[in-house]
Amino acid sequence: MSAPLVVVAKGSKEHKRWQNVQWLYLAGFLLLTPLVLQPFEIGKMNRALIMSVAILAVNLVVGFNGMLALGHSAFMGIGAFVTASMVQDENWDYWQVLPVVLIVGFIMGVVIGLPALRVKGLYLALVTIAQAAVFPTLVNIDELGIAKRTGGPNGKGVSEEVIAPSYLEWLPGVDGARGGSAYRYWVIVLMLGVTLLLITNYLRSRPGRAVLAIRDNEAGAAVYGVNLPVVKTANFAISASLGSLAGLMWCLDKGFVAGQDFTFLLAIDLIIGLVLGGVGTIQGSLVGGLFVVWVNDLTKRISVPLGLYTLNGDGPLAKAIFGLILILFTFFAPGGIVSLARMVSDKLIKVVPLTPSGVPIEPLDSFDPGMESTRADAAVKLAVIPPVLLAAGWLLMAVNNLIVGVLAFGLRMTILLAPVAMLVGSNELKAHAAGNRPDSVAGPANMARLLGGLGTLFVVVYAVQRFVLTY
Amino acid sequence: MAKATPETRLQSEVLATVTLSFVMDYVLLLQRIFDALFNSAIYSSLALALVIIFRSTGLLNFAQGEMATFTAYIAFVLLSGPQPRLTGGGLAGIIPGVPFTIPLAIIGAVICGMVAGAATERALIRPLGGASDLALVNITIGLLLAVNSLMAQWWGTGPRFFPAVFPSGAGQHFLIFGARLRYSTVGVWAILLSVLVLLVLLLRHTRAGLAFRAVSISPSNAELVGIRVGQTLMYGWALASGFGALAACLSANSVLLEPSMMLRVLVYAFAAATLGGLDSPKGALVGGLIIGLSQTLIPAYVPFIGFELSVLPALLSMVVILLIRPAGLYGTRRIERV
């Protein structure tokens, strides 16, 4: 299908409908995660979302401001240790610690950023790597009572558990066996959501535009009146603050903090997530976090049956695969997963922007010169192929549960394309009724609507059944 | 990270307490300096590798340490066979009675390292062309992760005993003003300095050296006068990897051979290279000396920096030098046009 499957004018009713479909997918994903996954898998998901926040922090400096700062593991550590110390020693609540952590992170960002941002490029990378490398040892200093606060080499546990208050027990998944991790999941999702909203708006604001301008052309930005040191330092401090927030979430989720968790290796993980997700995009940070944690998990799962070494929970194979992926992405997909996904979605849906007078800048028909029937055919394929793949996946699962299980999970996800097929089918039928399509379209369009509808029904029934099972 | 092994430290402590009542602890100071010199040589040679690559290709090779460790493993395999044992197999097994198996194995490893370095440049760096700093950092970090984990996969993560290159037994040292200067320290410095002399001769008096210097100064101009820039850079990488291999093989005995052996050393080497100036070989030598000495002396004489924190002064000096004088002690100042 060379023409996009769906062509809509920006802001039109159709466009809104497609956006709603996207939001539905997102909501379904968020809702089903605590219901479908096992408790330890929810823990992994929590970890992934925390990494997303941290990667967003790195992205703010590296991706949006073009400064090569690689030491955010230290800021995470600061946030985590402040939280652990306040909650454990001073008996504060997590929500009380939150503003403190944000402010401490901001101040640390100013303290480090003010001198560090005077240097650029690889030199800045060196300074920030020094910061990441030295942090785990700083935690152990006996002077000033630091080691007492941080627990030194033994790390610090937080005995207060995060459990749902009674008025929040209606949250999906919170009651029952997976209660603890599911509640933490919702707390983390809330924090992540607020962060995303704030950062998106920040980047659209005047200082945010200045940050982007510095990345694109530093001298040009200065000429246009951007105060370089102030904007750079403030951006770095906001990023550090965000990194500390990730640290707080880490402590909240794990209940245990040690200097060994915040080494240079964590900083490398953040960079990997950044590059794999997509440098300079907000969605990229989200995807990157999920990717880092789940690929690590996947390699661990296949390391064990293959008889490979496993260390600290993840095999050395994990690092090899990450190294390879990092190199491959740098060569073949420098825009990360987001750019790949955009390539796919451009085939799927084309949003035509409007002129100021409210007309599409190009007529919608110009995107499908005489190829109307292929569109309905493609929709039929979308409706038919996923169930076939699904069946194949289940068959494979029966043969070999382990490696293929992950594959089958991916295949199962393809059934989510059914609603798309249904909508495209009904769209084409409407166009046919209005006399805009040849009669040959009617058959496939009907088929796509029927099969897609069945698939959608299946998805809905599955989701409802999950809900009913857990309540 | 073994500068002063517990044993030598104990010796020097004892020595110190004996002499303290008479002559302060100058002997202890001298002893500490001698102990630090060994590490300094290692830092210098790895820093030299970093400098050669930065000078020519303009990137920081984060994988330098892992590439070097890899060659140390190759030397290890050459010595003891693919199934790592302490004795037998390998070169020693194939040619019994050959006295210089260890130097031969190290030379073999250095050659392998040079080939691997050249291959890396050709396969991973050159195709990227003038990519952004982030892309180059990514490539070398990816290489670091991949090589490290492959080594762990093939040879295990446990430390291995690598035979000493120079006699380093209990009594094998010079005694200078009561402090012990080990043969191994002298040997490492002799090797480092002689290789450095060779490098200088190569750069100053051969056509390839001239080409290399031209490419370092201005790749585009070098290309215009007919120098094959890519090939020259490849030689540069080979040279640098050779230095790294030498550093790893010489230090593998004292720090014990394991996959992450050079990671910590790399941090010090970065500090040394930055201190001396990222594009100055002389700076790498001096920087290595300063970092090595400060790593041993500062924890010894500044009370609240324990030996555990010995990484702090090195990194701090790196940060400070970057802020005050980004070009380092001997580096050339970079002037950018905007």
pLDDT at res. A1: 43
Place of tokens 């949003």: A351
* In chain A, domain spans: 6-12+350-470, 37-334
pLDDT by position in tens, chain A (length 471): 456 777 777 777 778 877 887 888 788 778 777 777 777 778 888 899 999 999 999 999 999 998 888 889 999 999 999 988 888 888 788 888 899 999 999 999 998 888 887 777 888 888 888 888 888 888 777 666 677 777 777 777 777 777 767 666 667 767 665 567 788 888 899 999 999 999 999 999 999 999 999 999 888 998 998 888 899 999 999 999 999 999 999 998 888 888 888 888 889 889 999 998 888 889 889 989 988 888 877 777 666 656 555 555 455 577 788 888 889 988 888 888 888 888 877 777 778 888 888 777 777 766 665 555 566 677 777 777 766 766 666 666 555 555 555 555 666 666 777 778 888 888 888 877 777 777 777 788 888 888 888 888 887 887 777 667 666
User: Does the CA dihedral A27-A32-A35-A37 come out positive or negative?
Assistant: negative
- The C-alpha of B78 sits at a distance from chain A's nearest C-alpha, in angstroms, of 24
pLDDT above 50 (res B22): no
Is the distance from CB of A52 to CB of A192 less than 8 angstroms? yes
* Residue contact B144–A219, C-beta within 8 A: no
pLDDT band at B85; cut points 50, 70, 90? very low
Kindly state the tokens that stand for B337: 């046009």
**C-alpha count within 13 angstroms, C-beta hemisphere, residue A280:** 15
Residues 295-334 of B with CB under 8 A from A: 304, 308-309, 311-312, 315, 318-319, 322-323, 326
pLDDT band at B87; cut points 50, 70, 90? very low
Neighbours of B278 (CB within 10 A): 29
pLDDT at res. A244: 94
pLDDT band at B96; cut points 50, 70, 90? very low
Chain B touched by A68 (CB under 8 Å): yes
- The C-alpha of A101 sits at a distance from chain B's nearest C-alpha, in angstroms, of 25
Mean pLDDT of B175-193: 82
CA closest to A316 among chain B residues: B149
Q: pLDDT: is A146 or B222 the higher one?
A: B222
- The C-alpha of A62 sits at a distance from chain B's nearest C-alpha, in angstroms, of 9
Chain A touched by B60 (CB under 8 Å): yes
Q: pLDDT: is B244 or A304 the higher one?
A: B244
pLDDT at res. A106: 94
Which residues from B are below 8 Å from A141, CB to CB? 304, 309
pLDDT above 70 (res B173): yes
* Residue contact B153–A309, C-beta within 8 A: yes
Which residues from A are below 8 Å from B274, CB to CB? 123, 126
Strands (E) in chain B, as ranges, are 173-176, 179-182
Residues 127-166 of A with CB under 8 A from B: 127, 129-130, 133-134, 137-138, 140-143
Q: How far apart are CA A235 and CA A239, in angstroms?
A: 6
Q: How far apart are CA B305 and CA B323, in angstroms?
A: 23
Is the distance from CB of A49 to CB of A189 less than 8 angstroms? yes
pLDDT at res. B2: 44
Chain B touched by A111 (CB under 8 Å): no
The closest alpha carbon to B237, from B97, B71, B102, B126, belongs to B126
| DSSP characters over A79-122 | HHHHHHHHHHHS---HHHHHHHHHHHHHHHHHHHHHHHTTS-HH
Which residues from A are below 8 Å from B122, CB to CB? none
User: Does the CA dihedral B148-B154-B159-B162 come out positive or negative?
Assistant: negative
- pLDDT tens for each residue of B291-308: 888 888 887 777 766 666
Beta partners for residue A349, in sequence order: A6
pLDDT at res. B1: 41
The closest alpha carbon to A64, from A231, A222, A247, belongs to A231
pLDDT at res. A401: 53
| Cα distances (angstroms) measured from residue B98 to each of A363, A430, B90, B105 | 83, 88, 12, 12
Length of chain A (residues)? 471
Which residues from B are below 8 Å from A116, CB to CB? 319, 323
- Pairing mode, strands A349-352 and A6-9: parallel
pLDDT band at B84; cut points 50, 70, 90? very low
pLDDT at res. B92: 47
Place of tokens 């215009």: B224
Cβ-nearest to A327 among B139, B267, B308: B139
Q: Which helix (H) or strand (E) holds A295?
A: helix A282-303
Neighbours of A391 (CB within 10 A): 11
pLDDT at res. A405: 53
H-type helices in B225-337, by residue range? 229-255, 261-276, 281-301, 311-324
Tell me what ipTM this predicted complex has: 0.79
Count Cβ neighbours within 10 Å for each residue of B12-46 and write b for 16 or more, e otherwise: beebbeeeeeeeebebbbbbbbbbbbbbbbbbbbb
Beta partners for residue B173, in sequence order: B182
- The C-alpha of B158 sits at a distance from chain A's nearest C-alpha, in angstroms, of 11
pLDDT at res. B89: 44
Right CATH for A37-334 from 1.20.1740, 3.30.450, 3.40.50, 1.10.3470: 1.10.3470
Give a three-class secondary structure readout of A201-259: HHHHCHHHHHHHHHHHCHHHHHHCCCCHHHHHHHHHHHHHHHHHHHHHHHHHHHCEECH
pLDDT above 70 (res B9): no
pLDDT above 80 (res B68): yes
pLDDT at res. A193: 92
